[in-house]
Every structure is written in structure tokens, then in C-alpha cells.
Structure 1
């Protein structure tokens, strides 16, 4: 039985819209000034993270999933289900939409669909993001896309640090310039790009669009998904549950001094966004700092976090999940 938290070395992805805030905010050794994504905890083939401590040091997360299912409570899935990222939107991301599990399984060689959510770590004053569209039918949507009526079509929403957005598959969306986000998502890398502002890369080429597939999967008319965060103040911590559904549970832990955590999930993915402290088990103490990402295996019954820290924590779906989101067609 392994009673060691698994800390990971992030994998960095360069993007046309990336910048250098992953270095400025978290001290990461990024590959370039166009680093857009930190894949913090990932078993996806396009960017697997590697354990940097303990008896499994040097092992990739996907290897552990296949070879040591006891670490994950023998979670009933054919692949590690979640992916944690930090995104630096130094410029606007492309407008895109993601497929459902069923569509991706059929048309993307067995890939998972992509439902995700965003926690806004930081953003510039007056920042916005794109969430949804104004078309009433797919015919109207197609016509507005073909005529380039993007300003009239897309819904922009003002944001500020600490905001949380749930982005189910089928939702038209895009992060905009000046935004730093922690993203929790299904373990998928399938994105259908609808509009890319006619940008070109360093070779003068435009990026590929996926208009037919996007029209296949987009939700029309747009449906806003509201969440009702639940806040619990415990001794030593404030716990905010943003969403709990069939894909994941996502929480924010604001540790104020010391908090004893009783492990009730198959496993936990933890990202430290602010502060420093220690994770204490009965056997050992592990220092924690801003920018750390680690997994708490199934074997942990109880552990303590000491210090002043802010963490985003995700876990796979539980049986008999309690849903904490409500769907509505009202505009924000």
C-alpha cells in the first residue's frame, strides 16, 4: 500500500496565443515566451506528467493507472478520467466547441468527450470570455458563421479573479486576452475550432477550422449552465464546492491554519495556487508551495494540511452523486 502523495512535473505546451505568465506567476521553467498551457496532472498520450518523488519516481501517470489500479481505488474506467491544466491566454484563444463522449467515441477513434470548467486565477481589468452564442437555430448559426457575423453571434461575459465557469460539451467558448485559468476537464484533447480571428502562424499559415464537426455537436439554442457553490467553514479551512456531477467534483480549499482531511474519494488531484505549507501524514511531512500539483491515492484515510494555502482540488465522480448545477436558458 502506498501512503505517499504523488507529485508531478508539469508538461508545457506552446501555443500561438501563449505568453510567459506561467513563469512569472508560478516560477515554472517554460520553453518559450509563447507557452500557453501547463498540463499539471495528465495521463493523456499528448502530454503525460511524470512522478517526481517517492517509490514511483520517474513513472508516468498513465503507467501507474495501468500497472497499479490500487492507487486509484480500482476506479471503473478504461483510462485516467481527468486532466488538470493552467492556461495563459496572452492573446484570444480560438472560438471552439467540444464533443460529447458519444460523438468523440464514434468520430475521434475512441477519445473521450470534453466537458471542462474554469477557475479564473487572474485576469486583466475589464477582461471577458466568450461563453455561448445568440443563434436560435443551427441554420441561423451556420449562416452567421458563413457571413462572418462573429460580433453579433458570440456572447461575451465580463470576468474577475475567483470566478468559476462550468463548460459542458456543446458549449461555444473561448478564453480572451489577459486571462490565467486553472482548467479541470475530462482527459481529452479533442477541440473543434470555429473561428480563429484569421490569424496566421510564423510561416503565414492559418490554423485548421473544423466547421462541420462543430455544427454537429454545438448546443442550439445556447443553454447557460449555472452552478450553486456550496461553502462550508470548518476548523482551519473554508471549502467551496463549485460543481459535482458525472464527470468530476471541483472544490477550492482555503486553508487558514491547519485542516485535517478525511479521504472519502477514490483519489484527489490538488493544485496549489497560493501560499505555502505542509502536507502531513502519520509517516512523513511534505512541503507545499505555489505551483505544486499532486495526487492523493486511494490508500490515504486521513492527512493534515498546515499553513496558509489556496488549492483547487478535483476528484472523479462518486456513486450517488449530488448534482449542484442547474441549467437554464436565461442570459447572464
Structure 2
């Protein structure tokens, strides 16, 4: 059985995209307006292919369907996680995502709880994270009146920050920000406000006001869990979040690291180079260590984001 699945990223042009993804990671991409890199994905809207081993050329969705033994014999009907890198050279729309129940009923998709690791950003970068309405009535009135500045909770950010964004949380990634996003495998987004922008054909993007009003949380404010850091031999491991949807950690290694592994894990190399179970890896690589591996052996100076169910 194949221990390591190296993924071929998929690059997506966006109205608010730029060149930072290819410049930061050295990807060979011609488009100058890349907004998203779907780095580890089995979603129908961006299904990555395997680029190594016996399964080379297969899509991740087909490997997940046909080789569940590589994924701990998971009973989830679709591969549950999706890793993206996002370059916001302009503000993304103010938006919200539905939970599983709403998304399955209305969109035939998973809900979308996500989280962000800030890879890099400008000194004045900010994000929208939650809102300031006390009741649903106040929320709906402020939405109807377009009181965006007073409604939205805008906060400054810096490289290395982490934000957990549960379904129902109003949010927006703003200009000058490069992030790694870990999320449920969903592509359902409800736009609330898009700054009246138009695309290259002069058309405004679709908004989803009614659906957004149905799923925005009012009774619980956006709140980040406190990270926990563990210093282990040649590895500093920071656990950012551990929820019913995913666990996300950052590993910084300095020399050989060996640990047991009981289930598959998703890895994104943010910096450095080295090896994993004997295979070479470097900045910009994304891979899955499958359940065929009983241990993880890392060597080198590496900075990785690791996620798993």
C-alpha cells in the first residue's frame, strides 16, 4: 500500500487574486490573477491528482473511493477535508458558510467550517471576523440597511496568527493577506456584500442575502481556541484547534523526528526542505501520509501545517 500521496495543486483565478501564491512558493503558473491554490482536495470543483507512486495520475476522490484502507477505512461518504492557499490582493466578499444540516438540505454539499493560518500579510492587514449585532432582529436590520462598517468586526492580523471560523460566522479575508485554509470539503459560500465590484464582463457577482440570513449565528460570538505548544525532540508542535471537523497543528522541525501514526494526515510544507519517510519534500509541497504508514519519520528544517480528522 502507498504510504505517501503527493498532490498536484489546482490553481484558480479570482477577481481578487494576484501573483503572491506563485511568487511565495515558486509554483510555475502563468496566470497573474491566482486567488486560490486547491492544494489537497477531492471536491468535485477541484479534484487534485496524485503525482507519485503506483497511484500516480489518479484523482484523490477516486483513490478515496477505491482504497479506503489508505484512509483508516473511513466511513465518510466523501473525503472530508480540503486544504487551500489563498492570496487576497484585494478584499474578499463579506460572507458566511452554512452548517452540515443546512448545506445537505439546500445545496447537496457539506457545510463549511474552516480555519486560517496567516502565512504572510502587510503591516496594515485586517480580517472581518464576526459581527456586532446583539439580536437577530438587529442583525437583519443592519444587513438590510447596509451598515457594513458598524456591523462587521474588523481586527488587525500578523503573520503566524490563527483563526477558527465555524459555520455561521460572518467573515472576510482582506487585502494584503496570504493564508493557508483548512476546511471541510465544501464549496458553498453565501456572499453578503461584495463592495459593488464587477467582473471583466461588467457584471456584479451574485449575492445570497436570504440564505445568509438563515445561517448567520447570532447567539455565539466568533471565538478562537487557545493554542497549545509542545516542545518535543527536534520538533515544536502547536495545536491550534481540535474540533469535530478537524484538528490543525503546526510542526517546526530541526533534525530527525519520529512519531507513531494511527491514521492518515494532511501535510503542507510552508517552508524548508527535508524528507518524510524517505521521500524528499520542500516548500510548497502538499501530501497525505496514509494509514499504510505506522510511523512518521521527518528529517530536515521544516515548517508544516498538519491536519487530520
Q: Structure 1-normalised TM-score?
A: 0.91
TM superposition shift of 1:42:
0.3
Task: Give the Cα separation in 1 of the matches to 2:306 and 2:44.
Answer: 23
| DSSP 3-state at the match of 1:226 | coil
Task: Give the Cα separation in 2 of the matches to 1:126 and 1:55.
Answer: 47
* 1:189 maps to 2:178: no
Task: Give the Cα separation in 1 of the matches to 2:220 and 2:191.
Answer: 17
Pairing of 1:1-332 with structure 2 (within 5 A): 1-2=1-2, 4-109=3-108, 111-264=109-262, 266-280=263-277, 285-316=278-309
Task: Give the Cα separation in 2 of the matches to 1:205 and 1:63.
Answer: 36
Task: Give the Cα separation in 1 of the matches to 2:47 and 2:17.
Answer: 20
| DSSP 3-state at the match of 1:80 | coil
User: Which range moves more in the overlay, 291-300 or 29-38?
Assistant: 29-38
User: Which range moves more in the overlay, 90-99 or 298-307?
Assistant: 298-307
User: What CA deviation, in whole Å up to 9, does each residue of 1:269-311 have, x standing for no partner?
Assistant: 000001111113xxxx211110000000101111311110100
TM superposition shift of 1:74:
0.5
| DSSP 3-state at the match of 1:56 | coil
| DSSP 3-state at the match of 1:36 | strand
User: What CA deviation, in whole Å up to 9, does each residue of 1:24-83 have, x standing for no partner?
Assistant: 100112241111000000000000000000010000000001111111011121110000
User: Which range moves more in the overlay, 137-146 or 77-86?
Assistant: 137-146
Q: Which residue of 2 aligns with 1:330?
A: none
Task: Give the Cα separation in 1 of the matches to 2:266 and 2:178.
Answer: 19
Task: Give the Cα separation in 2 of the matches to 1:146 and 1:215.
Answer: 10
Task: Give the Cα separation in 2 of the matches to 1:139 and 1:5.
Answer: 51
Q: What is the root-mean-square deviation of aligned Cα atoms in Å?
A: 1.0
| DSSP 3-state at the match of 1:188 | coil
Q: Are 1:98 and 1:114, in contact at CA under 8 Å, matched by a contact in 2?
A: yes
User: Which range moves more in the overlay, 24-33 or 180-189?
Assistant: 24-33
Q: Are 1:20 and 1:30, in contact at CA under 8 Å, matched by a contact in 2?
A: no
Q: Structure 2-normalised TM-score?
A: 0.98
Q: Are 2:165 and 2:222, in contact at CA under 8 Å, matched by a contact in 1?
A: no
Q: Are 2:126 and 2:154, in contact at CA under 8 Å, matched by a contact in 1?
A: yes
Task: Give the Cα separation in 2 of the matches to 1:137 and 1:303.
Answer: 48
User: What CA deviation, in whole Å up to 9, does each residue of 1:8-35 have, x standing for no partner?
Assistant: 1100111100000011100112241111
TM superposition shift of 1:224:
2.4
What residue ranges of structure 1 are gaps of 5+ in the alignment?
A: 317-332
Task: Give the Cα separation in 1 of the matches to 2:214 and 2:146.
Answer: 19
Q: Are 1:276 and 1:308, in contact at CA under 8 Å, matched by a contact in 2?
A: yes
